[in-house]
Amino acid sequence: MTARPATLGQLRESGWVSRPVKDELRINAVARIRSGEPLFPGVLGYEDTVLPQLENALLAGHDVIFLGERGQAKTRMIRSLVDLLDEWLPIVSGSEINDDPYNPASRHARDLVLAKGEDTPIDWVHRDGRYGEKLATPDTSIADLIGEVDPIKVAEGRYLSDELTVHYGLVPRTNRGIFAINELPDLAERIQVGLLNVLEERDVQIRGYKVRLPLDVMLVASANPDDYTNRGRLITPLKDRFGSQIRTHYPLDVSTEVAIADQEARLPDIEGLQMRLTPEMADVVATLSHLARVSPHINQRSGVSVRLTVSNVETLCANAARRALHLGETDVVPRISDLDALIASISGKVEIESFEDGMDEAIIANLIHAAVLTVFRERLDAVLVGEVVAAFDEAQTVVHAGEDVPAEDYVKLVSSIPALRAPVVKLTGGDESPAAVACAVEFILEGLHLSKRLNKEAVGARATYRGRLASS
């Protein structure tokens, strides 16, 4: 690898060209688009909605604000912008604000270039060091974002008005990079004014002294739509600063939600256990989130994050692993009886609106049942499962199910009720492993119960299914 230039003179000889950060982002974005590479790998479901708008913003050189509820990949996209910066950037050695060697901004860099000329030493900053991020909170101060007088430097004999007494904040330290503010409306108005000054007017007053800071920063922010548009907590000049306002959204279909969960979920890695999630159970978990997003019992202002789906997949698989460990099984496939465990992972991620105390678990259980019924109707033909119902009624069949029932018992059940075989094969795709069969059988039985075609009695972790014509 060729050594990078170490002095200002060597930098000039190398032919390196200084570019504003937004031009740099545009050039690298254009190169990716032309090559067919995704600008934001790992961001799913936005291919035809959000990403084209973000590409437009990059090509236009705009500052951007993302409006969306929690769990809509806003922060992921913001942080992914770093990959569009050049890998290495030259700065004046020792600079705290990434001074451009050709156009130094800070007093330290100007003095060094004036003294050393073409021998001015150069440092190189990796793209990761050119990103700054701050969660806006009411107690965020000018010192946090812009800077403050350093009392130690004053004690050394400098005047307060001397720029060298300033300890720079996050924004100046992200000069020639990307600065992100999450939940922008939570920033106090006086801080918004200070931020606007440094970004628009290129100066800021610290302790009554005006400091000139010609910064080159791409500003990216995120906000909840209600806070940004309805509560009037953002000053108009700062709002006007953003060239592009991009509205994010939750996955528009269940298949996208499943793909995101498959990408993000971390399944239990336990020695001796082989874990897999069947398509119908993955759909149940994703459908549960979609139903929650339209439920009148869930506070929609706070949103139902995709993290709910990811967390539910992880909890579902963890419960299946626990069940397998207790039963001494090694092949693990989550099934209907594992869904009860989701109450723990759902409760902390949604805000339930109920007029009656103690109804939270019942509301969650109803959402789970609705998700199972929805997927059941999508995946199994009524005629196919009708034969199962007839078999239960004719033979007065009673079936016990639950997490304490070994998978092998379900295989025996299919042998004793031949009508079960066709829908089981349709669900498993020919996988005849006991774990896959157990998952399919429980899914069929629960779907038939929720369709009001089988009776069910549940006590703890054990459930009993029987035909509606059977005596109890």
3-class secondary structure per residue, 298-331: ECCCCCCCHHHHHHHHHHHHHHHHHHHHHHCCCE
Roughly how many angstroms between the first and final C-alpha of the chain, as a whole number? Answer: 80
**C-alpha closest to that of 185 among 129, 144, 220, 138:** 138
| Residue ranges with strand state E in 422-468 | 454-459, 462-467
pLDDT of residue 109: 92
pLDDT of residue 438: 96
The predicted model scores a pTM of: 0.86
Rounded to an integer, what distance in angstroms lies between the CA atom of residue 379 and that of residue 423? 9
Helix/strand/coil for 247: strand
pLDDT of residue 234: 79
Rounded to an integer, what distance in angstroms lies between the CA atom of residue 277 and that of residue 403? 16
All domains in the chain, ordered by first residue: 8-247 (3.40.50.300), 254-467 (no CATH)
pLDDT of residue 103: 93
Rounded to an integer, what distance in angstroms lies between the CA atom of residue 44 and that of residue 343? 27
Which tokens sit at 26? 């545009």
Per residue of the chain (472 residues), what is the pLDDT tens digit? 468 999 999 999 999 999 999 999 999 999 999 999 999 988 999 999 999 999 999 999 999 999 998 889 999 999 999 999 999 999 999 999 999 999 998 888 999 999 999 999 999 999 999 999 999 888 888 888 888 776 666 556 665 556 667 778 898 899 999 999 998 888 888 888 878 877 776 666 666 666 677 889 999 999 888 776 655 577 888 888 888 999 999 999 999 999 999 999 999 899 999 999 999 999 999 999 999 999 998 988 888 999 999 999 999 999 999 999 999 999 999 999 999 999 999 988 888 886 666 688 889 999 999 999 999 999 998 888 888 999 888 878 889 999 899 999 999 999 999 999 999 999 999 899 999 999 999 999 999 999 999 999 988 778 999 987 754 4
Helix/strand/coil for 202: coil
